[in-house]
Amino acid sequence: MNELLAVAVVTILAVISPGPDFAMVTRNSYAYGRRSGLMAALGIACGVQVHVFYTVLGIAVIITHSPPLFMAMKLLGAGYLIYLGIRSLMNTTTLTLGSASGPVPPLWKAFSTGFLTNALNPKTMLFVVATYSQVVQGGSSMAANFSYGVFMSFFHWAWFSFVAVFFSAEVLRRQMLEKQGVVHKVIGMALIGLGGCLVLPGVGR
């Protein structure tokens, strides 16, 4: 599998799977308006770079000095994708949001909330490690590896900006919530299939 294609597929599936960042952007958009949701989305995108920075540097060292450890990380990364898929399939909860009271928080606070939500989110940390452990190879340059990180941030920003716009419209919000079960199952099956393919010899290269 082409490296860039692998990054794109894993990123898209992982980002749109339910998580605290999704709930936070949705609630900000519904409770405080579209601008607050969009700033939270930008904060989430910037928070991804925290994980990208230490992962790229760490993976590069591991590839050079300990190929068996790198292989173990590949297996753990694929296992995490399968775990995400199983969780998505078993998810029977429905997101419900109540109206917020009080003044609208400043935009910088919405940004910082989004940034910290992703920078401190174990799901994002494992997602970044899983992605790089599947696609980074010994000959890959730092520039190429960090460009993958830029793509991850861009798609986080694009997806959660869409979520912010979507959930700031009450009619559309209600329609999507009614179909959450189907969305969870589709994402779950895709993640499990991708994780299974990545642990098979010769697949994912």
Query: Please, what is the average pLDDT of the chain?
Result: 77
Distance CA(103)–CA(46), nearest Å, equals: 26
Give the Cα separation of 135 and 144 in Å (integer): 11
What single letter denotes the amino acid at residue 143?
A
Evaluate if residue 200 carries a pLDDT over 60: yes
**Counting every residue, how long is the chain?**
205
Q: Exposure of 201 by Cβ count < 10 A (0-12 exposed, 13-18 middle, 19+ buried)?
A: exposed
For residues 136 and 70, is the Cβ–Cβ distance under 8 A? no
106 φ/ψ angles, rounded to the nearest 5 degrees? -65, 155
High-pLDDT (> 70) share of the chain, %: 75
Burial of 202 per CB tally in 10 Å (0-12, 13-18, 19+): exposed
Identify which has the larger pLDDT, 7 or 139.
Answer: 7
**How many CB atoms are located within 10 Å of the residue 120 CB?**
12
d(CA 152, CA 158): 10
Contact 31, 99 (CB under 8 A): yes
Q: Which pTM was predicted?
A: 0.67
The CA distance from 205 to 197, in Å, is 10
pLDDT over threshold 50, residue 204: no
- Over 80: is that where the pLDDT of 96 sits? no
Share of the chain above pLDDT 90, in %: 13
| Backbone φ and ψ of 18, nearest 5° | -60, 145
